[in-house]
Every structure is written in C-alpha cells, then in structure tokens.
Chains A and B, each alone.
Chain A
Amino acid sequence: AQRVTQPEKLLSVFKGAPVELKCNYSYSGSPELFWYVQYSRQRLQLLLRHISRESIKGFTADLNKGETSFHLKKPFAQEEDSAMYYCALSGQWGASYDKVIFGPGTSLSVIP
C-alpha cells in the first residue's frame, strides 16, 4: 500500500538552529518523493523533489531506500521557514503519472 508518514505534527526550533523534518514512506516500487510547502495564506507549492538532488532555500532531502525515508533538512533555520511541510510521493518517473499521496504534514515554527 502507498503511504507517507510524518511523525511530528508540530516542530519548533530557534532561529539559526538545525532543523530536520522526518518522512517515511511505503510503496511497492520506486516512487518519486517530494516535499511541498504551504506558507500562511498561500497555496501549496513544490519545495523540492528527490530526483533533482537540489537544494532549495537551503533545504535538502536525501532519499534513503533502505530506511524508506526522505527527511528534509536545513542547517540554519530562518523565521521565514515557518510553514506547513508535506512529504509526498507519486509513481516512478517514466511510468504513467500517478496520483500524489501526501503525508499528514508537519507544522514548522521558527522562534526568533
């Protein structure tokens, strides 16, 4: 069964501290993994995807197939990082596009 779990519903860190938002998944095959972010009063938007191996706004995420994890990390949190973060997965690139399955989300609050 396809499933995404995010164990922390709320996460508070101080400005300048490292932050890690955890994500684990279950999927029969090789999924695409994403992190989506929703800032206050804004629409949901893509933050980064595992296949691109990119760093966006200082965030990185490494896909660990052995642990089926895709944790989101940033070495120094900023106040503007406060938002709702959703880990998500979909079918493997190259196959027919599959629906996006979202985790429950983690609300990140960066304390000044």
Chain B
Amino acid sequence: SAVISQKPSRDICQRGTSLTIQCQVDSQVTMMFWYRQQPGQSLTLIATANQGSEATYESGFVIDKFPISRPNLTFSTLTVSNMSPEDSSIYLCSVAVQGVMNTEAFFGQGTRLTVV
C-alpha cells in the first residue's frame, strides 16, 4: 500500500496567481499521477509524472498551465498557473503500486482550490 499526503488541503486564490500543490508518498514509486475533479464531475487525468523525465500530459492539458516537478521517487508538485475561476477544482495526486497479482491506485486526500 501507499500513504499519500497532499498540501495544501484547500486554498482560495486570486485569479492570475499560481498555486503549487505538493504530494509526498511514504514509499518509492515509479509513476505518480495528477488528476482534476471539477465540481460534480469525475476524475480527469492531467498528467503522468515519472522521476527523471518530463511529465506526460493528457489531451487538453499543457505544461505551461500545469507545470509538474518530480525530483525524486517519493515527491511531486503540480502548479496551477495564471489561475482563473474555471480552475476551481479538487486536484488529486495518485500513485500506482504493483503487487504480485495486480496493481492498485492510491490517492491523496485532494487539494480543494477555489479561484476568485
């Protein structure tokens, strides 16, 4: 299993500013994932972050808007840049842990972002 800590748990930000969300895992993992969950919506994958290489972004998400760092195997950050009210969402960090028979995704508690 994996325990994930995300900081901050919530924030209210002014439009045009940036917020960096931190994700700390209690074990070394190869891949970390960042999701967004807009109000009343499902989880949408933003990007996959591998240690030592650039993040891979999903369609509709770009590095300039959501820069990601992955300095080591237990930590990652996601920055939401030049925020607008449309960026108000819950942002979740996730890791994949591969066991003997299958894989499982674990999630942080999420960061609830409100842009005003």
Chain A interfacial positions (CB closer than 8 Å to B): 32, 34, 43-46, 49, 51-52, 86, 88, 90, 93, 97, 99-105
Residues in B neighbouring A101, C-beta threshold 8 A? 45
Q: Does B104 contact A (CB under 8 A)?
A: yes
Identify A52's interface contact among B92, B96, B101, B110, CB under 8 A.
B101
Q: CA of A86 to CA of B101 in the docked complex: distance in angstroms?
A: 22
Q: How many A-B residue pairs have CB under 8 A?
A: 49
Contacts A46-B104, A51-B102 known; 10 new A-B pairs at CB < 8 A: A43-B108, A44-B107, A52-B101, A90-B103, A97-B96, A97-B98, A100-B33, A100-B96, A102-B44, A103-B42
Q: CA of A43 to CA of B107 in the docked complex: distance in angstroms?
A: 7
B107 engages A97 (CB within 8 Å)? no
Residues in B neighbouring A102, C-beta threshold 8 A? 42-44
B48 engages A44 (CB within 8 Å)? no
Residues in B neighbouring A46, C-beta threshold 8 A? 104-105
B94 engages A100 (CB within 8 Å)? yes
Identify B102's interface contact among A44, A52, A86, A105, CB under 8 A.
A52
A51 engages B101 (CB within 8 Å)? yes
B42 engages A105 (CB within 8 Å)? yes
